[in-house]
Amino acid sequence: MPAPFNPFKHAIAKGDLQLGCWLGLADPYVAEISAGAGFDWLLIDGEHAPNDLRSITAQLQVIAARDAHAVVRPPIGETWLIKQLLDAGAQTLLIPMVESAEQARKLVAAVTYPPHGVRGVGSALARASDFSAIGDYLTTARDEICLLAQVENLKGMAELDEILAVDGLDGVFIGPSDLAADMGYIGKAGQAEVKEAVLDAIQRIVASGKAAGILTLDEEMQQKCRALGATFIATEIDVTLFARNMRAAAAKATEKLKRR
Ligand SMILES: O=C(O)C(=O)C[C@H](O)[C@@H](O)CO
């Protein structure tokens, strides 16, 4: 029996749009609710949210029971951390702060078993192999792993063409917030110069034949990125959705019931 089919990997390879939501509340209950909401993919954020291997695993478990696909972002693209996340059952990884082809090649090696890569063999213990129930996991896992690189600073943008030429990399995600900061517009991802750089990068990624992705709450940017051929677009963030609605609810109740 082979490794589980990765619908997200094959969908973005065909150019099929996959709509996603960022999960930063770092809770399996929220992940389960989100997984039933109708998004195609959910980003479990280990970079900016209070996630660790156990909380990421718990979210992988609940999402697996629904139709959404889990994408995991580690805080950094370290080989040992990638090994742990893949063994925990993550099949799609979004690696932040990729800024060179050499770095991208090391990431490809980290998700590939020897002799072509350096992923450590531990499938006997791993949720990824259904605890050894998937007999052909070791020889089929790589075919269903989707590796995505985040390019989100000026160095990475300058190296984008070389990064796109790396075999084994499925797609490139442009991070508008970090890119804006490195361009000198911190907190201003909507700055015209930033938007122009993002759209140019999306166009180059699509032209290279790899999948292009982004997270943007700006509906105009979502439409423009899709029009350029972006296939994995995150349109919401659970933290901002929750915080915004909680504040609005408190204000509404205060307005109606408590005259200060
Ligand atoms: O740079 C970006 O934009 C991203 O990588 C997304 C952010 O990390 C995410 O936390 C939303 O701000």
Q: Active-site residue 69, yes or no?
A: no
CB neighbours of 241 closer than 8 A, spacing ≥ 6?
Answer: none
Please tell me the pTM assigned to this model: 0.97
The closest residue, in CA terms, to atom 5 on ligand 1 is: 175
- Total domain count, the chain: 1
CA angle centred on 41, ends 37 and 46, rounded to 5°: 110
Structure tokens at 20: 């996603």
Q: Which residues of 95-109 are buried (b: 16+ CB within 10 A; e: fewer)?
A: bbbbbebebbebbbb
The closest residue, in CA terms, to atom 6 on ligand 1 is: 175
AA identity, residue 79: T
User: Is the C-beta atom of 152 inside 6 A of ligand 1?
Assistant: yes
For residue range 159-210, list pLDDT tens digits in order.
999 999 999 999 999 999 999 999 999 999 999 999 999 999 999 999 999 9
User: Is the C-beta atom of 201 inside 6 A of ligand 1?
Assistant: no
**H or E segment to which residue 35 belongs:** helix 28-35
Q: Which of 177, 182, 239 to mutate to test the pocket of ligand 1 (most atoms within 8 A of CB)?
A: 177
> Where in the sequence is the domain holding 36, given as residue range(s)?
7-257
User: Is the C-beta atom of 48 inside 6 A of ligand 1?
Assistant: yes
Distance in angstroms (rounded) separating the CA atoms of residues 231 and 55: 27
Spans of the chain below 50 pLDDT? none
For residue range 199-235, list pLDDT tens digits in order.
999 999 999 999 999 999 999 999 999 999 999 999 9
CB neighbours of 54 closer than 8 A, spacing ≥ 6?
Answer: none
Distance in angstroms (rounded) separating the CA atoms of residues 260 and 124: 62
Does 1 map to a domain?
no
pLDDT computed for residue 31 by the predictor? 98
Does 2 map to a domain?
no
Distance in angstroms (rounded) separating the CA atoms of residues 44 and 31: 8
Kindly report the CATH number assigned to the domain that includes residue 35: 3.20.20.60
Does 216 map to a domain?
yes
Phi-psi region of 125 (alpha: psi -120 to 50; beta: other; left: phi over 0): alpha
User: Is the C-beta atom of 177 inside 6 A of ligand 1?
Assistant: yes
Which is nearest to 170 in space by CA: 14, 59, 29? 14
Tell me the CA–centroid distance for residue 115 and ligand 1, in Å.
34
| CB-based contact 236:21 (threshold 8 Å) | yes
Does 22 map to a domain?
yes
| CB-based contact 233:214 (threshold 8 Å) | yes
Distance in angstroms (rounded) separating the CA atoms of residues 241 and 196: 27
Distance in angstroms (rounded) separating the CA atoms of residues 225 and 203: 8
